[in-house]
Structure 1
Amino acid sequence: MASSTHVNPLRFVPVLYFMQALPVALVQELSLTIYKSLGLADGDIARWTSLIALPWSIKFLWGPLVELSSTKRRWLLIMQALIVLGMLGAAFALQSENFFGITLAIFATIAIFSATCDIATDGFYLLSTRREEQSKFVGFQSTFFRLGRLFATALIVMISGKLINGDITGTPMPANQAWSIGLFLMAGVYLLGRLLNPLLMPTPEADVVRKLPEGEAGQNFVRLGSLVATGGFLYYGAGAIARLVGAGLSSMGIQAEKWKPVETDLYFIFVKFAEKVPGIQAELINLTIAVVGATVLGSIAKRSLHSTEIKTALTTFFGQAAILRILAFLLFYRFGEAMLGRIVPLFLQDTKTGPEDITNGLGFAVDVVGQVNGVYGVVGIVVGGIVGGMFVSRVGIRKSFWPLAAAMNLPNLLYIWAASARPGPEPMSVVMFVDQFGYGFGFAGYLVALMYIAQQNPNYRTAHYAIGTGLGATFIALAGILSGALIDNMDYGPVFWIVLCFTFPCLLTILLLPKDILEAKGADVGAVDVE
């Protein structure tokens, strides 16, 4: 039953976005710590945890499915219930002898549920808030998301670590048991949020089921399945190409040892079919599988999507008159800061190990890194996110974009100084606070612009927002790949100068943004034609 009563976003935004962070942090960050403490090889951890995080990069491929099937509210609540079951399943699976393959499959499933829940959550937010409210509360979105991430990557890790060391029980506990307890705790907190959400969330009038021909909803699942599988094979092939390029650079005498092919076992899905295959041969096999899979499934997807609403949702986004300028904005606005996100944790911990080691970090201990990055950085980004959202709401997106972009990019100068001066923990705490405040402040502009881009066609707001966020995640992944290549071949000082250079395309993309986005003035988005 639709409700016409407007609900203050503060009633439901904090719980929704705190919960949104938990499965993301579990799959993308906490899983690495778990597997490392259980003694698995770094190469296997890096390879497989990167693969299972794929759904967040390609979630825009099934954004139209959420748009066209059921309501956003129902999608959101169903996915949250499935995520609870996934967390509980992972906790039990850690007790199995074959825990690695089983938990990988569970984490991959959680990633799909979480990415789908993200689409529904963002679409629900757009339908439940007035346009003039969206920029105001975007800071609260990012704030509670980051608090959820802090809960998963700090509190859960701390409790599990103390159980392993015996600090809580007085007797050391096996790592797999300790992590199971940690995941049970996370599942309990997530379940509590799931039980609260039906009481806190409104039922927007615009959140209705689209009227589709009989049988069309089932066909949409088949169409999106082939489309998503095609994207997966393309991603798989892109990784193989990147490692083959690394091999080529190494053969030319360019240092690329850390990202060229190595002898490896080969898997299809999670099934091993070959052992100890030489690196280049393995990547050529991977590339062949990817090309064949993408070609076959891409052809099926193309035929099945002909004259469908899913195709319309995709073509109306990529067919916008200003699509190249929009893509440039999504790529470059936060590219430099995304590079820092991968580089700074290494910079804080790295020490020079010998004359052949070209990197020269600050060499902080893990507990110091936790204080500098975990405490001061999180406080900075939380405060910056709230202030940025309020600033955009008060000043307007057009007048606020330049201060937002400056706040996001100018703190990069501090890292150039740090790479030269090599300061201690106290000065670096200030650097981290300023940098993360600037990122939280500037990121508010990105989110508001993305919301306005998604609402250019009101019939496909949820799908278009999912496409935008998915493309953003893909571009962030590209920034991470570039960061890894630079760190493998340069000292931190030159790398930070390269990061600073990405300020210029960031500012250029603001000039290129369509005027109707920059001049948007809180238009009402409540009454939408959903027929």
Structure 2
Amino acid sequence: MTSSNRPMFWVPSGYFTMALTYNMLTAAAVIMFSNLGMDNARAAEYASALGLAYTIKPLFAAFVEMYRTKKFFVLVTQVLLGLGMMGVALCLELPDYVPVMMGLFWVLSFIGSTQDIATDGVYVTALDSKSQARFCGIQGLSWNVGKLAVMSVLLALTGVLHQYVFKQDPAVSGPTWARSWQVIFVILGVVMLAMAAWHARVMPDGARAEHTPSTPGQALATLADAFVSFFQKQGIWLMIGFALLFRISFGFLNVPSLLFMKDTLPNGGLALSNQAFGLIYGTFGIVALLVGSLVGAAIVARRGLQKSLFILCCCVNIPNITFLLMAIYQPQNILLISAGVVLEQFFFGTGSVGFMIYLMQQLAPGKYSTSHYAFATGLMGLCMMLTGMVSGHLQQQMGYTGYFIFVMLATIPSFLICWFAPFPHPEPDAA
């Protein structure tokens, strides 16, 4: 058996590499913007807007399927991402780097989303259904290891470099942080190029998916048919409401919660260093999220989704109160802050499993199940993008305490849509 036929050689590295780009652009970028001196409104708006490419990727996925091999697109995108990350490092030397940096980030987000499409395509077409099921856990674990590398290791490294190598005050935001982030982008660029070289040796080409269009006209016709049939589903508007609203409170919470942990005490934040943030959120929080996901899956397997949905809705929404309590009391004890983050992330992971299973089992089934699932996750991404873009502006107007009260009020639509969510398809027997 050649190395290209051994999924263990390329599945972990492929999904690890996918996670590096996505989490750098949509999560670590928030901390970077804060370090560089952006206000919360701009930091939240810019980082959330970078999620657009990942939200709309179902619209151009069919065109990637049509040309060359899927492996070709994986390699090209990873090389471009590597060069682009190094380009970001260079642009931070410019006196007015923000427009150039954001332009590069915008381009990289579309290249990164294309990498996701191509890597998923190799996974789906190079592995049989049995192998796909066997490697599904490794796939998810590898993606989360990539998230851990960005949000824990690299974020902590920026703090160490800034404070101990470049001898700068970690409590002061501004252009002095640029050098530390330049190192991070060089590291990411080197890793991307190394992964491209590795995947050139070990990744299979991937086959053409069944019914892949052969011309742009066919691709557009298929997309249009999938789009029309999506709106013909039984209970579709309530299901669309579910996809948009079930996690709306998290959409409002996500970016401001990161900024809250970094902001200064006089501004109402917790004043965590990058090192402490990387440990608490990037390590403890991610581990809690993974454990919560396993617990959520076990709950659904035992009780069934319909019976569990309200419980899972509570898990997603009620623990948001931990950030309200931290905003009121501004604890400086690392253990207390860690406990708050772990609690919120654990229950969010538990509840989110039900959300994804609902999209798979109730909204996606039909002639175009893959496309319809992609549309559903696109609606989820749209919610996260729009709420994220306005969240920083709202937080600046309300202050952290007032804003986190608003986040608790934003849980109401989630409970309402959960109550009315239709179940047009029978659930599989609980396992």
- Normalised TM-score (structure 2): 0.76
Deviation at 1:441? 1.8
Q: Using a 3 Å threshold, how does the CA distance of structure 1 residues 43 and 388 change in structure 2: closer, same or farther?
A: closer
SS, match of residue 165 in structure 2: coil
In the alignment, does 2:344 pair up with 1:435?
A: yes
Partner of 1:408: 316
Deviation at 1:29? 4.2
Question: Does structure 1 conserve the Cα–Cα contact (< 8 Å) formed by 2:156 and 2:276?
Answer: no
Q: Distance in 2 between matches of 1:85 and 1:364?
A: 32
Q: Give the gaps of 5 or more residues in structure 2.
A: 168-175
Deviation at 1:449? 2.8
In the alignment, does 2:232 pair up with 1:319?
A: yes
Q: Distance in 1 between matches of 2:207 and 2:41?
A: 49
Q: Distance in 1 between matches of 2:269 and 2:166?
A: 34
The amino acid across from 2:404 in the alignment is: F
Partner of 1:235: none
Q: How does 1:38-77 map to 2 (within 5 A)?
A: 51-66=49-64, 75-77=73-75
Q: Using a 3 Å threshold, how does the CA distance of structure 1 residues 197 and 97 change in structure 2: closer, same or farther?
A: same
Partner of 1:478: 386
Q: Distance in 2 between matches of 1:80 and 1:325?
A: 39
Q: Give the gaps of 5 or more residues in structure 1.
A: 222-304, 354-358, 523-531
In the alignment, does 2:287 pair up with 1:379?
A: yes
Q: How does 1:359-508 map to 2 (within 5 A)?
A: 360-362=268-270, 367-389=275-297, 391-392=299-300, 396-425=304-333, 426-452=335-361, 455-459=364-368, 461=370, 463-481=371-389, 483-508=391-416
SS, match of residue 490 in structure 1: helix
Q: Using a 3 Å threshold, how does the CA distance of structure 1 residues 197 and 451 change in structure 2: closer, same or farther?
A: farther
Deviation at 1:444? 1.9
Q: Which has the higher helix share?
A: 2
The amino acid across from 1:376 in the alignment is: F
SS, match of residue 519 in structure 1: coil
Q: Using a 3 Å threshold, how does the CA distance of structure 1 residues 477 and 407 change in structure 2: closer, same or farther?
A: same
Question: Does structure 2 conserve the Cα–Cα contact (< 8 Å) formed by 1:138 and 1:447?
Answer: no
Q: Which has the larger radius of gyration?
A: 1
- Which string of whole-angstrom CA distances, capped at 9 and with x for unpartnered residues, describes residues 105-147 of structure 1? 332221111122333445655665749976x977765554343
Partner of 2:254: 341
SS, match of residue 411 in structure 1: helix
SS, match of residue 365 in structure 2: coil
Deviation at 1:327? 1.1
The amino acid across from 2:255 in the alignment is: R
RMSD of the alignment, in Å? 4.3
Which of 1 and 2 has higher RCO (CA within 8 Å, sep 6+)? Answer: 2
SS, match of residue 515 in structure 1: coil
Q: Distance in 1 between matches of 2:372 and 2:189?
A: 31
Give the count of matched residue pairs: 418
Deviation at 1:421? 4.7
Identical-pair percentage: 26
Q: Using a 3 Å threshold, how does the CA distance of structure 1 residues 44 and 204 change in structure 2: closer, same or farther?
A: closer
Q: Distance in 2 between matches of 1:449 and 1:505?
A: 17
- Which string of whole-angstrom CA distances, capped at 9 and with x for unpartnered residues, describes residues 128-179 of structure 1? 5749976x9777655543432332244334435544556399xxxx866654
Q: Using a 3 Å threshold, how does the CA distance of structure 1 residues 183 and 441 change in structure 2: closer, same or farther?
A: same
Q: Distance in 1 between matches of 2:194 and 2:401?
A: 46
Question: Does structure 1 conserve the Cα–Cα contact (< 8 Å) formed by 2:23 and 2:151?
Answer: yes
SS, match of residue 155 in structure 1: helix
Q: Distance in 2 between matches of 1:394 and 1:137?
A: 23
Q: Using a 3 Å threshold, how does the CA distance of structure 1 residues 142 and 483 change in structure 2: closer, same or farther?
A: farther
